[in-house]
Amino acid sequence: MPILVLRGKRKTLNPALDQQRQPSDALLLEAVNALPDPEIPVISLGDLGIVRGLHRDQGTCVVSITPTYSGCPATETIRDDILALLKAQGEANAQVVIALSPAWTTDWISEEGRNKLKAFGIAPPLRCLNKPGSIEDNVSALGGEHAHRVFPLKRMTTLARVQCPRCESEVIESISEFGSTPCKAIYRCLACREPFDYFKPY
């Protein structure tokens, strides 16, 4: 987190941290969670649910994170952002450790994060089904009346209730399985004819 120096006074960009010279671990964790995601800055690391916790190891501040997937290109940037924030708060020897188990899932995205994605024009991921099954079983579980509205057929297990973030229509079609980042796909609403990104569930 950047530090502002105004007339010789040290001031953080986070008011909560500015109240103490040595922030508590709870405030440090709050600040880490508030950092923006480098690929989708409209949501925070906390919104994504990738921050697993903060603890002390022989006095050293250690933050655990779980990347959205093991090869996520944003992982190093996220690590650097967290370390920069912690060092700015006096944690010169802070560490960031990667926890790959359990694996991150889009179900960890907070409700607030989902609302932010939608407001930004990105359709949030649907909740993953608890158990795998056939396309027919999964469509039935989600609501069979929506089956004819989604293209292509192979995506019905996850797209049966995806809504256009602009007009909320469920009548959509696939344009590309990959969007601006690997975690997003591109779809087009057949009602308002506008393309939109969809955060793929996994």
Q: Considering the entire predicted model, what is its pTM? A: 0.72
pLDDT band at 17, cuts 50/70/90?
Answer: low
Q: Is the model's pLDDT at 86 over the cut of 50? A: yes
- In tens, the pLDDT along 68-78 reads 988 888 999 99
Where are any strands of DSSP class E within the chain?
A: 3-6, 9-12, 51-57, 60-65, 95-98, 122-123, 172-176, 184-189, 195-199
Q: What are 41-53's pLDDT values in tens digits?
A: 999 999 999 999 9
Contacts of 126 (CB under 8 A, 6+ apart): 158, 159, 160, 161, 162, 201
Mean pLDDT across 142-160: 39
CATH architecture of 3-98: 2-Layer Sandwich (3.30)
What pLDDT does residue 161 have?
76
Show Cβ contacts of residue 199 under 8 Å, excluding neighbours closer than 6 positions: 106, 109, 117, 122, 123, 124, 125, 183, 184
List strand residue ranges (DSSP E) for 92-193, in order. Answer: 95-98, 122-123, 172-176, 184-189
In the chain, ranges of CATH 3.30.300 domains: 3-98
